[in-house]
Amino acid sequence: MGLKTSFRGVSLPPQKVSNPAIEDAPLPQRVVLPLGQGVERVCQPVVEIGEQVKTGQLVGQSGDFLLAPVHSSISGLVADIRPWFDPLGNEVLSVIVESDGNDSWQEELRSDESFLEKERVQILSDLKAAGVVETGPPTMPLHAKFAQPERPKEFLFLVGIPLAKPVDTVIINGIDAEPGMAGKGAVLQKNSSEILAGIKIVQKLLDSAQVILAVGSNGSLNTSLASELAGLGVKVFQGKDKYPLGLTPILIKCVTGREIPLPDGNEQDIGVAVVDAVTLVHLVEAVRDLKPQVERVVSLSGAGVGAVKNYKVRLGTVVSDLMGQLESLKGEPVKVIAGGAMTGMALFSADIPVTKNTDALIFQTAGEAKSFSQDACINCGTCVRHCPARLLPGELSKYCEFGMFEEARDKYLLHCIECGICAYVCPEKRPMLHLMRFGKRELSLT
41 backbone dihedrals φ, ψ, rounded to 5°: -100, 105
The dihedral sign for the CA sequence 212, 218, 219, 222: positive
252 part of the interface to ligand SF4, by CB under 6 A: no
143 part of the interface to ligand SF4, by CB under 6 A: no
183 part of the interface to ligand SF4, by CB under 6 A: no
418 part of the interface to ligand SF4, by CB under 6 A: yes
Q: Considering beta carbons, is residue 248 or 382 the nearer one to ligand SF4?
A: 382
Measure the CA–CA gap between 214 and 321, rounded to whole angstroms: 35
**Bond from prior residue into 138 cis (ω within 30 degrees of 0):** yes
The interface region with ligand SF4, picked from 78-86, 97-105, 162-170, 425-433 by CB under 6 A, is 425-433
250 part of the interface to ligand SF4, by CB under 6 A: no
Q: Considering beta carbons, is residue 32 or 426 the nearer one to ligand SF4?
A: 426
Number of residues forming the site for ligand SF4 (CB under 6 A): 28
Measure the CA–CA gap between 233 and 199, rounded to whole angstroms: 10
407 part of the interface to ligand SF4, by CB under 6 A: no
The interface region with ligand SF4, picked from 87-95, 114-122, 256-264, 421-429 by CB under 6 A, is 421-429
The interface region with ligand SF4, picked from 102-110, 155-163, 363-371, 385-393 by CB under 6 A, is 385-393
387 part of the interface to ligand SF4, by CB under 6 A: yes
Kindly report the number of other CB atoms within 10 A of residue 137's CB atom.
Answer: 13
The only residue of 417, 431, 435, 440 in contact with ligand SF4, by rule CB under 6 A: 417
The dihedral sign for the CA sequence 65, 46, 136, 234: negative
DSSP state of 415: G
432 part of the interface to ligand SF4, by CB under 6 A: yes
DSSP state of 171: E
Q: Considering beta carbons, is residue 297 or 389 the nearer one to ligand SF4?
A: 389
The interface region with ligand SF4, picked from 301-309, 326-334, 346-354, 383-391 by CB under 6 A, is 383-391
65-68 contacts at long range (C-beta below 8 A, 24 or more positions apart):
65/144, 65/158, 65/159, 65/160, 65/161, 66/41, 66/140, 66/141, 66/144, 66/161, 67/36, 67/37, 67/41, 67/42, 67/43, 67/141, 68/128, 68/131, 68/132, 68/133, 68/141, 68/293, 68/356
CB 413 to ligand SF4: min, Å: 8
Q: Considering beta carbons, is residue 209 or 422 the nearer one to ligand SF4?
A: 422
CB 219 to ligand SF4: min, Å: 23
Residue 286 contacts by C-beta under 8 Å, 6 or more apart in sequence?
Answer: 126, 127, 129, 130, 132, 292, 293
- HSE-up (13 A, CA, CB side) for residue 421: 28
CB 262 to ligand SF4: min, Å: 10
383 part of the interface to ligand SF4, by CB under 6 A: yes
Whether the CB-CB separation of 97 and 30 falls below 8 Å is answered with yes
The only residue of 382, 399, 405, 439 in contact with ligand SF4, by rule CB under 6 A: 382
Measure the CA–CA gap between 264 and 269, rounded to whole angstroms: 10
The interface region with ligand SF4, picked from 61-69, 186-194, 293-301, 428-436 by CB under 6 A, is 428-436
Q: Which of 340, 356, 353, 214 lies closest to 282, judged by CA?
A: 356
Q: Considering beta carbons, is residue 324 or 381 the nearer one to ligand SF4?
A: 381
Whether the CB-CB separation of 22 and 190 falls below 8 Å is answered with yes
381 part of the interface to ligand SF4, by CB under 6 A: yes
CB 434 to ligand SF4: min, Å: 10
Kindly list the residues in this chain that would bind ligand SF4 in the complex (CB under 6 A).
377-383, 387-389, 391, 393-394, 397, 416-422, 425-426, 428, 430, 432-433, 436
